[in-house]
Amino acid sequence: MDEVRDFDLHAAWIRRAQTDLHAFLEALAARLEGALPGRVQVERKREGFLTGPKRVVGITIRTDDNRYVLDAHNHEIHASRQHDVRGVVLKTETLTLDRWLQDLEEELRRLSGALEGARGVLQDFLTS
């Protein structure tokens, strides 16, 4: 009897995780699109043929030298980082989702610092 109860609990947890996966991707895509216009590409597909809601199935964030890619297929997320030189991918690394989020945060912090420095130079030029 305990095995049946354990099975039911595990099945319920898996259903919830799959539902949360879609919510996570939707929220992440919306946040990134708003925060990084021009650097984020979100791929959405309909669940059914011509009907049904569109779901996020891919997110790509471009930084100076890399593309951070999330692909959602069959209720799983595949995370990778692609080293990009002039539009050509030279290397692709598969990452865990946690590592992908950490590396993306670090790269965005570096990019933000560089852009802030450029903004300061421009502001100094315009005000002098």
The average pLDDT across 76-90 equals: 88
Q: What is the pLDDT of residues 16-74, one digit of tens each?
A: 555 677 888 888 888 888 888 889 999 998 876 777 778 889 999 998 889 999 998 87
Look at strands 54-62 and 66-73 and give their pairing.
antiparallel
Kindly report the pTM of this predicted structure: 0.72
Q: What is the pLDDT of residue 47?
A: 73
Report the run of H or E that residue 91 belongs to, with start and end: strand 88-95
Confidence of residue 126 (pLDDT cuts 50, 70, 90): low
Q: What is the pLDDT of residue 98?
A: 83
